[in-house]
Amino acid sequence: MASSNKWVWWTERDSIAIADYNTSSEKFTSPGSSQVDKKITIFYYKKADLFKVPSDLNAQSVSEFSWTATSNFPGQFHDYIVAKATALGYERKPEQLQLAMYFHEKFEKGVREGKAYAYRARAGSVKYIKPVDF
Amino acid sequence: MKLKEMVELVQQHHPELGVTEIVKMLNTAQEEYSQRTRMLESAAQFDLEDGIRYYKLDEAILEIKSVDMEGADGTSDHVNIPKLIGRPVRRDLT
């Protein structure tokens, strides 16, 4: 079999590894001087940016708190965020656990809708993920 | 919907809760929603360094979808590189 090299990536210990893989010797080589300053672009799913909490003792956070802040999620999903917070509030009231369950279920509906929305990639069609043979 | 509206909607059910507590609950909801729906996407770039294999990932990254590398095919293009299935048998910590 002919030997060839290809650049590959993997994740390990909260880091991304980039290495040149030789298919014949099965050895991995780290980037060298000829790769210095070459750009790596990572496309990823991200966590939501959290709202600043008004009572943070950190002075900078206090100044960043804003009533007009908005969630990263599209507007049609904001109700589900509110539903989850409402459910968490009802969980503290043993006599109103039924209401907690109602709002949890509403949030679950939002998760299903959100997954479908993400899957369609906002284009009305399904996401295309190119398979890579390795 | 602005944060103020969200807080007011929760307060309609829980008038006894303070703003700080409600904002923390909204953040808990946002964290769970982003993790479970994988709805939010982004991209980031960094430069390769001589002899360095591992690069720290930002905490905001939930899951990497794909990776492009400039010059991976010998041209100056940014091309998609494959994900290694598993890990190398011989490890190093560079």
Query: In this predicted structure, what is the pLDDT of residue B24?
Result: 96
Question: Higher pLDDT residue, B74 or B93?
Answer: B74
Of the candidates B13, B20, B90, the beta carbon closest to that of A53 is on: B20
Q: Is pLDDT above 90 for A64?
A: no
Question: Higher pLDDT residue, B33 or B93?
Answer: B33
Query: In this predicted structure, what is the pLDDT of residue B46?
Result: 95
Closest CA to B31 of B2, B7, B60: B60
- Give the domain range for residue A26: 5-35
Of the candidates B28, B46, B82, the beta carbon closest to that of A40 is on: B46
Query: In this predicted structure, what is the pLDDT of residue A8?
Result: 94
Q: How far apart are CA A46 and CA B86, in angstroms?
A: 23
Contacts 24+ apart (CB under 8 A), A67-71: A67/B2, A67/B3, A67/B4, A68/B2, A68/B3, A68/B4, A69/B2, A69/B3, A70/B1, A70/B2, A70/B3, A71/B1, A71/B6, A71/B30
Q: Is pLDDT above 70 for A3?
A: no
Query: In this predicted structure, what is the pLDDT of residue B73?
Result: 84
In a domain? residue A26: yes
Residue B91: exposed, middle, or buried by beta-carbon count in 10 A (0-12, 13-18, 19+)?
Answer: exposed
**All structural domains of chain B with their residue ranges:** 3-37
Q: What are phi and psi of B62, to 5 degrees?
A: -85, -45
In a domain? residue A102: yes
Query: Which strands form B61-70's sheet, in the order they lie side by side?
Result: B41-47, A39-46, B61-70, B78-81
In a domain? residue A40: no
- Which residues from chain A sit within 8 angstroms of residue B53, using beta carbons? 17-19, 28, 30-31
Q: How far apart are CA A35 and CA B80, in angstroms?
A: 16
C-beta atoms of A55 and B36 within 8 A: no
Q: Is pLDDT above 70 for A58?
A: no
Residue type, B18: G
- Which residues from chain A sit within 8 angstroms of residue B28, using beta carbons? 84-85, 88
Q: How far apart are CA B27 and CA B57, in angstroms?
A: 22
Contact residues for A113 (Cβ-Cβ < 8 A; gap 6+): A77, A80
Closest CA to A35 of A76, A4, A5: A5
What stretch of H or E contains B8? helix B3-13
In a domain? residue A53: no
Query: How many domains, in total, are found in chain A?
Result: 2
Distance from CA of B90 to the nearest CA of A (A): 8
What is the pTM for the complete model shown?
0.82
The ipTM is 0.87
Q: Minimum mean pLDDT among A57-61, A80-84, A110-114: which range?
A: A57-61
φ/ψ region of A26 (left if φ > 0, alpha if ψ in -120 to 50, else beta) reads: left
C-beta atoms of B26 and A107 within 8 A: no
Instruction: For A1-134, list the strands marked E by DSSP.
Output: 5-12, 15-22, 27-29, 39-46
Of the candidates A36, A41, A88, the beta carbon closest to that of B25 is on: A88
Can you say whether the dihedral through the CA atoms of B29, A70, A114, A41 is positive or negative?
negative
Tokens of B63: 């899951």
Q: What average pLDDT does this structure show over A24-31?
A: 87
